Copies of this chain bind each other. A is one copy, B any other.
Amino acid sequence: MGDVLRVALAGLGTVGAGVIKLIDANRSLIERRAGRPIEIVAVSARDRNRDRGVDLGRFDWVDDSTALATHQGVDVVVELIGGSDGPALVLARNSIAQGRAFVTANKAMIAHHGLELAGAAEAANVPFKYEAAVAGGIPVIKGLREGAAANEISGVFGILNGTCNYILSTMESAGRDFADVLSEAQALGYAEADPSFDIDGVDAAHKLSILASLAFGTAIDFDGVDIRGIRHVIAADIVEAQALGHRIRLVGMASANEQGLFQRVQPCLVPLEHPLAHVTGSLNAVVAEGNFVGRLFLQGRGAGEGPTASAVVADLIDIARGETGPAFAMPVASLAPAGRAPSGGRMGRSYLRFVVADRAGVLAEITAAMRDAGVSIESLSQRGVTAEGAAVVALVTHECPEANVSHALALLDGSESLKAAPMLMPILEV
């Protein structure tokens, strides 16, 4: 066996404690697989005294997490502090500058500064890994970087936020409203007190921007992600989707063509025959479509102590084995700065839902707007009337550029027939 790989751990929240527990529980197995022992030697967190269910007395304690970059006798720094900037970023920069391998679960930091850090790691010839940053325990970074590496990828689709998937799945199985399910998720600890990063799609967008870079060989472009969350999905949408043989999922989707990169996070209608439709509860999943491999589908637990720790330690094992290379599959200088494909250029079928006044002529108004915008209607339903006397109209378009659908909605903007903003969701194809 080789020398011990000595690890410093910054951040002792759920995931940090999980990494300690995992290394304790699976120590001998890890040593056999990694070819050498992996041991934590130093830790840092805000609160030294909180009970985390693990014995910290055997590790060096460092008050200032950024000091781990220079702490003596450390081979790898693991950053589990979080936040796109601040101490996490300082620690990353300094660790790499010190020639230390760096592992992180921090999707926000990677989405915003990943290329800078990967470039620095390349220049310093140190490993830089982040499997835990996307989809928790599912090896999606490895799957794209290595497993599908021989393929030109035409599209990558993912359920990348477990909180949203839990909320949508529960709305579906329990027939309940968004706000109600969100409150329960918060009470159960599945959703944050301030849930906006999750439910408004920002967290999923961080992850999508990372997957897109790996899939298409393009520079990470988080600002290019068109982000729409799940706040405006109502119980009636779930019912309509079910009637159409679909489920609603928050899907991060990216593709690349001559016009550039298309990146969007948005609730979508997913047909039951599509693997993403069967991703329930807080699971995560990623679909990648390659020109030789066809469709790959990877599913698992996307967050939490165990799965995230599993991904962090997988990175440590890769480092212990010396199986590391360019973090984004190719040298940062080779990543093409992708243009942005116009988001409205998406071709496909769409679901539209209107909450309308229950009176004659409303359907005629809506269908006229569709006609005028060149949108052809595949099906239309008008079900139930709410307590407030409003009706729900749901329609499915034939395949067309999404910009046409947006144009139709613009034509209806300000109409007194509409009692709420319309909801537009893409329909995925099998």
Considering the complex, give the chain B residue whose CB is closest to the CB of A141: B147
Beta-carbon contact of B296 and A297 below 8 Å: no
Of residues 180 through 226 on chain A, the ones whose CB sits less than 8 Å from some CB of chain B are 217
> Which of the 9-residue segments A93-101, A108-116, A149-157 touches chain B?
A149-157
> Of A61-69, A306-314, A339-347, which stretch is located at the interface?
A306-314
Which A residues, 315 to 340, have Cβ-Cβ distances below 8 Å to chain B? Answer: 316-318, 321-326, 329-331, 334
Q: How many copies of this chain are found per oligomer? A: 2
Q: Are A292 and B307 in contact (CB under 8 A)?
A: yes
Contact A150 B296 (CB under 8 A): no
**Residue among B33, B291, B300, B324 making CB contact with A323, cutoff 8 Å:** B324
Asked if B146 contacts A139 (CB within 8 A), the reply is yes
- Chain B neighbourhood of A217, CB < 8 A: 29, 32-33
Determine if B297 and A300 form an interchain contact, defined as CB atoms under 8 angstroms apart.
Answer: yes
Known contacts A300-B295, A306-B294, A147 near B139 by CB under 8 Å: yes
Per the CB 8 Å criterion, the residue count for chain A at the interface is: 59
Given contacts A149-B314, A275-B278, 18 further A-B contacts (CB under 8 A): A18-B292, A22-B292, A32-B330, A34-B149, A35-B330, A137-B294, A139-B142, A142-B142, A143-B147, A146-B314, A146-B318, A150-B310, A150-B316, A292-B309, A293-B311, A298-B298, A322-B325, A323-B325
Residues of chain A touching chain B, judged by Cβ–Cβ distance below 8 Å, are: 18, 22, 25-26, 29-30, 32-35, 131, 137-139, 142-143, 146-152, 217, 275, 278, 290-301, 306-307, 309-314, 316-318, 321-326, 329-331, 334
21 A-B pairs in the complex with CB atoms less than 8 angstroms apart? A26-B292, A30-B150, A138-B147, A138-B296, A139-B146, A139-B148, A139-B296, A142-B142, A142-B143, A146-B314, A149-B313, A150-B316, A151-B310, A292-B307, A292-B313, A293-B301, A296-B298, A296-B299, A297-B300, A298-B299, A323-B325
